Structure 1
């Protein structure tokens, strides 16, 4: 081996050793780095685990603390509420007295300033003595009217209300009805016990009283003093048979203050006072038109209804309208007064007395009714009048049960047949039950305040075809077939506005498209379901049924266009009704889609019927409408309305399905893709399949009526 080769081999070995050393160093460094990373990761994992454990422990501790705090707080609230309730129960009379004492001076001045004007009330009727006001009880305890005044003497009864020298028999009759139901008059005379005169603590008496009346959708509180109109220390207006009982006189004064003065109460309708006492809806029945005297079945039905209304605490009254000025308050041969209101205080079946063992178990029942003359005198002179021999036919236990007395107190019994024969009008004021917690039938209420106002919301009655649909419009839904609805339209009272008169008003109900959200613009395209008679009255009431399932629009209006007034509309249905006012004439552009195209075509389709459909196998019984049950030729008479922006791309699809419990079956469809304008065009069209069978003709035909227009406000 030469020297050159030696050195070459040495250089290779040196370079190889150096490379090996570098590789070893790199491997060692990599191993060290990996070990360090692993250690760091392990440490991080350990730290994370520790942190998680700490957080979980803290959360658990916090939750436990929160639960303990919440339970303790709830217990404290329960204890506080119980303590507050107990304190309220025991301190309520004291608080009330303190409030009355603090407000006495101010209320006294207000009552003197705004006390009903009695000087104008009956200046023609008062013929002797001077009309003045006298304190019921003076601060010194010296009484000018009586020595032992009471708000109530042995509670309230119909005998506590007798008419005075004011032509307000309508109010007096309603007050006598009010007295018969404790639950009702407790609302009108709140905190009656706290307001009562306490002979043991005469210094607590402040001489002011609080009443509540329902006015135009709200309960209004009225505070009065104890100044009452008297002549020679005798009450001029409403008074009780008990000389020291004053609730009825104070009630009359509070009601007079509500309308400005006593004179405002001269003449009125029974329904007004009944509604103001209860917040209910009044239905006035014309028994002459119902021909009850000749129709026994209708008479039996009315008696059953009045019995039910009496059980529901409804207030009822009756009258015989005067046909002329000479007939006003004229007494007939049978003792009844024309142009006069009578309160109805009882409606009962009374057992006739029978002899023998069989008669004890099969006694005949006689429908009877008890009424009260607000004058406190002047009674019925026919069968079953006071002291008449017909009472001998009534079982003695029944006579005792109904509290029969023969006194000249204005209260009398008569058979229901005679009642239907001689009385003309019956007013029933029902307090509608809207409580979901009640066991009785619950009604769903829709309520809205509105107004007839110029220039475009006072269109008059349907006789004014060009303007009628300018009136306010309200929609409501009926979700069950054969449903019954109650609707009341009330205008703001003008009794407190001298020279003002009620407007003549009524309302019309239309059956419209099931999806209508906009106002109605064409009356001829809708079904006129029903309407009321237009009357110059404070309220109009309609109880109607059956309503078919669907959407309805009620349009309240005055008789003549251009008359302005405010009104309250109330709708009651058996199920939720989605009651609302229709304010839009056309659909609004969606706020979330500024690029959306506005509708250019409105289409109304009324599906009349289908015929010759293929009968389907049913896997269960489920029928939504009686007309579709087990038939291949159903009738719907249902309409819908559509606003389309691209009619040629979005046709109206009409599909027919067989309704089953588990799975509905498709029976056929029709596509309305035409955008041609038309009006009430009747079409009989065929049915096609869908998806893969879109070109397959299905059995049956469909009858529809189509209206289409590019004027969106024409339907």
Structure 2
């Protein structure tokens, strides 16, 4: 019962997205129709309609509203009959067949339409396709009955989706995320983690660093790592803050401004980030209880950094990550490899090195027609790659080896390798190196070159900022310098 009261309070306060999440347990996605220019971009509008149709068909809740800029605008009625500041519930989404009889069936002309309901239960849209509109003559009687078209001032009416995008400013989709393996619909894998923004005088323990505008403290925020294990996958990410108890009782809706950034990192990273890498995506920052982002990302490893907009603010949050296959999402707690009782015997890393292979050129062509395998390019002797690796090194004299292979069905073909000495003074250095064979004493050159960035530092938390990551395939030498996985 308390959950229901909180939902009604949020709804009365105008925060429709929070109310929908409370009622359903789903995740809400706000769509700004004005910023997205959906009224004038037919392609984007059609794509959005398909997403709205899918959410509705799977039991999700959808609302539409016209933004009230000033207090005087609130509940102002427009000439078209719509009211500003109202959360119109979407009660049906259809592709409506136009025409009559068999001609309509064979012509198969359909119109994207949405049925909405005014929360007042009266005052309806009076434009095209309103209750008494002449346009309904284009639709057969059986189709109208199927749609439940009535001529009553009951607050429920139909609009074309084009008109919805023209007159409304915002749509909120609340998805019901399906995690059941018994469902016929798409099943998502959910990772759910609880976290908090906390203050501490020690920068290494502080977890309230603020957004990226505060570069000195940004990396002090909580960090979470997850993996995309398909060549490309849709990822849904939602962060929900826990409102202060006092404001929840009073219904004031005082939330922190929150958001998050996502960075593509090295394939074997398992410690916290301390410098910028390639930003893969970012959410908006808003003082809403929840922030949602839907993004498509290529295969790789990613770090989510949820933050408050200003540093020093504290609060609890829930992070939810949905992927097609398990993402192994977890919090990054350690800044560097831990020191253990074995460190004095086996040694402790003296240097950290980030190896970034940009691409290769002039590779030997396969006589059997096999392709050079790459997550980005296939069938080419000049592949571009998109993976980085980070190595915590104990024996600096032992180089890091990058090998390139040609994938075959029965046995992979070795194309060559390069050995990287990783001089810590050679920062941001771009090297174009000839591939060599695996002879340990007198290696010979093989066809092809590989371009790599090598970044090293004696400080294990100070790998310098690098440019955007590309893709590579690294088979490092075994032993002490193998990547930490």
After TM superposition, is the score higher than 0.5? yes
Q: 1:623 to 1:398 in 2, by over 3 A?
A: farther
- For residues 351-396 of structure 1, the C-alpha deviation after alignment (integer angstroms, 9 at most, x for no partner) is 22347x6455214222211001111111111122222222222110
Match of 1:377 in 2: 122
Aligned equivalent of 2:381, options 618, 632, 635: 632
Match of 2:31 in 1: 285
Match of 2:287 in 1: 536
Alpha-carbon contact 2:226-2:329 (below 8 Å) kept: yes
Aligned equivalent of 1:708, options 430, 453, 456: 456
Cα offset, 1:269, TM superposition: 1.5
Cα offset, 1:639, TM superposition: 0.9
Alpha-carbon contact 2:376-2:384 (below 8 Å) kept: no
Matched residue SS, 1:542: strand
Aligned equivalent of 1:579, options 329, 343, 360: 329
Match of 1:322 in 2: 68
Q: C-alpha separation between the residues in 1 aligned to 2:248 and 2:422?
A: 59
Q: C-alpha separation between the residues in 1 aligned to 2:418 and 2:182?
A: 47
Alpha-carbon contact 1:384-1:390 (below 8 Å) kept: yes
Q: C-alpha separation between the residues in 2 aligned to 1:590 and 1:397?
A: 76
Which runs of structure 2 are paired with 1:259-658 in the superposition (5 Å)? 266-354=12-100, 358-455=103-200, 456-494=206-244, 495-498=247-250, 501-523=254-276, 526-545=277-296, 547-589=297-339, 595-618=345-368, 623=373, 625-627=375-377, 629-648=378-397, 650-658=398-406
Matched residue SS, 2:18: helix
Match of 1:668 in 2: 416
Matched residue SS, 2:321: strand
Q: C-alpha separation between the residues in 2 aligned to 1:674 and 1:288?
A: 51
Alpha-carbon contact 1:619-1:660 (below 8 Å) kept: no
Q: 1:321 to 1:500 in 2, by over 3 A?
A: closer
**Over aligned residues, Cα RMSD in angstroms?**
2.1
- For residues 235-285 of structure 1, the C-alpha deviation after alignment (integer angstroms, 9 at most, x for no partner) is xxxxxxxxxxxxxxxxxxx622x48xx767531321111111111111111
Cα offset, 1:528, TM superposition: 1.5
Aligned equivalent of 1:690, options 427, 432, 438: 438
- For residues 482-534 of structure 1, the C-alpha deviation after alignment (integer angstroms, 9 at most, x for no partner) is 211111111113441547721111111111110001001111xx111221221
Most deviating of 617-626 and 482-491: 617-626
Structure 1 unaligned runs (5+)? 1-210, 212-221, 223-253
Q: C-alpha separation between the residues in 2 aligned to 1:464 and 1:692?
A: 48
Alpha-carbon contact 1:487-1:543 (below 8 Å) kept: yes
Q: 1:308 to 1:266 in 2, by over 3 A?
A: closer
Q: C-alpha separation between the residues in 2 aligned to 1:264 and 1:575?
A: 34
Matched residue SS, 1:313: coil
Q: C-alpha separation between the residues in 1 aligned to 2:255 and 2:186?
A: 34
TM-score using structure 1 length: 0.61
Q: 1:667 to 1:415 in 2, by over 3 A?
A: same
Alpha-carbon contact 1:460-1:557 (below 8 Å) kept: yes
2:450 paired with 1:699? no
- For residues 86-122 of structure 1, the C-alpha deviation after alignment (integer angstroms, 9 at most, x for no partner) is xxxxxxxxxxxxxxxxxxxxxxxxxxxxxxxxxxxxx
Normalized per residue, the structure richer in helix is: 1
Matched residue SS, 2:427: strand
Q: C-alpha separation between the residues in 2 aligned to 1:367 and 1:500?
A: 35
Q: C-alpha separation between the residues in 2 aligned to 1:622 and 1:613?
A: 9
Structure 2 unaligned runs (5+)? 201-205, 464-485
Normalized per residue, the structure richer in strand is: 2
Cα offset, 1:543, TM superposition: 0.6
Q: C-alpha separation between the residues in 2 aligned to 1:508 and 1:587?
A: 24
Most deviating of 292-301 and 606-615: 292-301
TM-score using structure 2 length: 0.89
Q: C-alpha separation between the residues in 1 aligned to 2:9 and 2:329?
A: 39
Cα offset, 1:618, TM superposition: 4.1
Matched residue SS, 2:123: coil
Matched residue SS, 2:303: strand
Q: 1:623 to 1:678 in 2, by over 3 A?
A: closer
